[in-house]
Structure 1
Amino acid sequence: MKKIFTLFVFLCTISIYSQTLDKEGFEIGRAQQFGAPVEAQLTKKDNVYKISFRDISFKTVDYYVDFEFKDENGNLDTLYAMIEKGFEEMPKDDIPVTFANRTVYLKFTRFVGAKVLVFSCIRSEANSEVVISNFIAKKQVDKLFGKKK
């Protein structure tokens, strides 16, 4: 009886996990600092990549904004290469990147001597409020895109 109950619990756990995995998609990577809330997360579901980043304007609520793009012509690698180039060149102006659901601006700056990336975008077309991510270091960007260096 114990073996049947254990088997039943195991099968229920697997089916619940697979249902949540299908809904959310497959996580490729995340940018997170030592137990703090997730700053950014990259997931893939079907043929669509989704990057979600945390809005720093809220102190007590974790509000995430996302942008999506299809997996065509190596779009993910192109975005990663664009970010890598930004870390090398450190452009003074924000780099606009247009996706299907919004335009995201990549800002490269220095914080405590380290090169960091900041995502920013407009919350919605009806609301002109700007959403800004926290600082994301180069090492965190590598983890976000699933690059192990």
Structure 2
Amino acid sequence: MRPPNAAKEAIMNDALFAEIALEHIGITTLESRKRDDLDFYSVAVWEVRDVMRSAYLAGYAAALRAAQGAGPALPTERHTLTGEAWLGAGEASDYGDDPNAYTVTTLPIPEVELLSYRWQERRACDVLIPRAIQQRRID
């Protein structure tokens, strides 16, 4: 479940992502402008690495601040698994017909949004979401 201030946090994250994109690869906006010449960029692998590193470190710093009580509490989500297979968001009781289902608490898993893209759905369910749950599990 998202905390009440999730919309505010999303706006803050979007601003941070835009700042990182501008700083590292010169992208002036992350908003879609519906034109290939405005929405597609050619970037070097080291620039992608630097962007990913900056975003990771920003999240890591936010987690440290939250753990020390110096920042807002991190939002959490509940996900149900059976073994390493992701069944879906929510509680194991929602999957009552599977006695091996169990619930874990994680930091947010935005990879779940990939399920709305048919071409990414299988990869998201089989690889990306289970890996994200392993990385962000907190119980």
TM-score interval, normalised by the smaller of the two chains? under 0.3
TM-score (norm 2): 0.25
Q: Whose helix proportion is higher, 1 or 2?
A: 2
Q: Which has the higher contact order (CA 8 A, sep 6+)?
A: 1
Q: Whose strand proportion is higher, 1 or 2?
A: 1
